[in-house]
């Protein structure tokens, strides 16, 4: 496939995540920021700061001389499918921010499209996740995993123009937990059954505030996860890794992975194992802190990868099907909270 370089990129949506993607595009020597798309008047200041044209709609952008080679969809969750389809049908390569959709049915509409889509689960490129993936074999057979995403979102997080976060299609399951589900899929494998109990509401919005969840993976691994965006806590991916510059780093562990030969906590990367050949609770455990190599920030690595996907050099790290798989799990968690019953997660890959 022959494409001119640098590739021209558009950012669709200039909320919290759009400008971070724009920075990564500007830094990449193989990409140019062609334009941004956002009908919100506040986007004018973002466009001026980035020094690029602004369009009020994808339709107007596609009809202009600034039509890009690729676009990053960074709009509210419920718009992802419609906007991504419009871009793909306009001949533009798409990196769609997670979640690929807010329900499985609409997600399938996008996944069955003949053109590839990359889903923006950028944490697959996080150095702690990359290192954890590499270290898993040293733990022997993985038996269980425990995860936490417990944090406090301030009232202004839900204020206009992002009041959509109060709605039933928002909430931390589809905004935050979906990241964790994708990481667990990447590290351990597909989740096939869930059971969830919802936390009590403090805000009284339609969006849930959290849940306690049990997980069953296809390979027999079991897990637990506690989720809340309304508690005081240092235990979250953002706090543990320091990935998000707006959230202070705590360094506290948010994952613990248990295996037949050892266990690992992340992101402190402490591995526990027995000193000798005998594995017994009567024996002393040894701990060691393993190193995590420096890497570029995940958004920049994701743009590097997206360029290679566009050029046909790599398959998507997180394909549309993988993005949909995470949606199916989150949908099952919501169903379990509503029904009070375990819910099986069925991924009919033969349809794609």
Domains defined along the chain, listed by start: 7-123+298-319 (3.40.50.720), 126-292+331-337 (3.30.360.10)
Taking only the tens place, the pLDDT of each residue in 204-229 is 999 999 999 999 999 999 999 999 99
- Write out the H or E segment, with its range, that includes residue 228: strand 222-228
For 97-119, what is each residue's pLDDT tens digit? 999 998 888 998 888 876 779 99
pTM of the model: 0.91
Q: Pick from 330, 351, 276: which is nearest to 102 by CA? A: 330
CA-to-CA distance for 231 and 268, rounded, in angstroms? 22
User: Across the chain, what does the average pLDDT equal?
Assistant: 93
Q: Is the pLDDT of residue 276 over 90?
A: no
Rounded to an integer, what distance in angstroms lies between the CA atom of residue 74 and that of residue 96?
7
- Alpha-carbon separation of residue 184 from 180, 187, 203, 206 (angstroms): 6, 5, 29, 27
Question: What value does the CA radius of gyration of the chain take, rounded to a whole number of Å?
Answer: 21
At 299, list the tokens: 């958004």
pLDDT single digits (tens) 314-331:
999 999 999 999 999 999
Check whether 351 has a pLDDT greater than 80. Answer: no
User: Which H or E run includes 338?
Assistant: helix 320-339
State residue 347's pLDDT score.
82
Which residues are paired to 87 by β-bridges? Answer: none
Give mean pLDDT, residues 195-205: 96
With bands split at pLDDT 50, 70 and 90, how would you rate the model's confidence at 120?
very high
pLDDT at residue 114 in the model:
65
């Amino acid at each position: 496939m022959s494409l001119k370089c640098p590739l021209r990129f558009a950012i669709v949506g200039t909320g919290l995540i759009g400008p971070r993607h724009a920075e990564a595009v500007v830094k990449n020597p193989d990409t140019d920021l062609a334009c941004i798309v956002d009908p919100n008047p506040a986007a004018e200041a973002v466009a001026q700061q980035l020094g690029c044209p602004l369009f009020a709609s994808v339709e107007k952008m596609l009809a202009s001389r600034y039509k890009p080679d690729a676009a990053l969809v960074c709009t509210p969750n419920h718009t992802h499918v419609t906007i991504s389809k419009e871009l793909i049908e306009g001949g533009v390569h798409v990196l769609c921010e997670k979640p690929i959709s807010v329900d499985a049915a609409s997600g399938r509409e996008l996944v069955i499209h003949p053109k590839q889509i990359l889903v923006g689960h950028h944490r697959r490129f996080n150095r702690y996740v990359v290192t954890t993936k590499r270290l898993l074999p040293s733990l022997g057979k993985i038996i269980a995993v425990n995860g936490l995403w417990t944090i406090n979102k301030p009232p202004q997080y839900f204020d206009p123009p992002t009041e959509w976060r109060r709605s039933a299609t928002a909430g931390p399951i589809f905004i935050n937990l979906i990241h964790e589900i994708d990481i667990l899929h990447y590290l351990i494998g597909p989740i096939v059954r869930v059971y969830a109990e919802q936390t009590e509401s403090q805000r009284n919005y339609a969006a849930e505030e959290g849940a306690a969840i049990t997980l069953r993976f296809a390979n027999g691994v079991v897990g637990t996860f506690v989720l809340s965006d309304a508690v005081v806590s240092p235990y979250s991916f953002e706090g543990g890794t320091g990935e998000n510059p707006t959230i202070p780093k705590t360094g506290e562990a948010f994952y613990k992975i248990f295996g037949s030969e050892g266990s690992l906590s992340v992101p402190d990367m402490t591995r526990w194992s027995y000193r000798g050949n005998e594995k017994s609770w009567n024996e002393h455990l040894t701990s060691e802190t393993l190193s995590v190599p420096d890497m570029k920030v995940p958004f920049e690595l994701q743009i590097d990868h997206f360029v290679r996907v566009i050029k046909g050099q790599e398959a998507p790290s997180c394909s549309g099907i993988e993005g949909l798989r995470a949606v199916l799990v989150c949908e099952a968690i919501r169903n379990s909270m509503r029904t009070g019953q375990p819910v099986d997660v069925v991924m009919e890959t033969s349809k794609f």
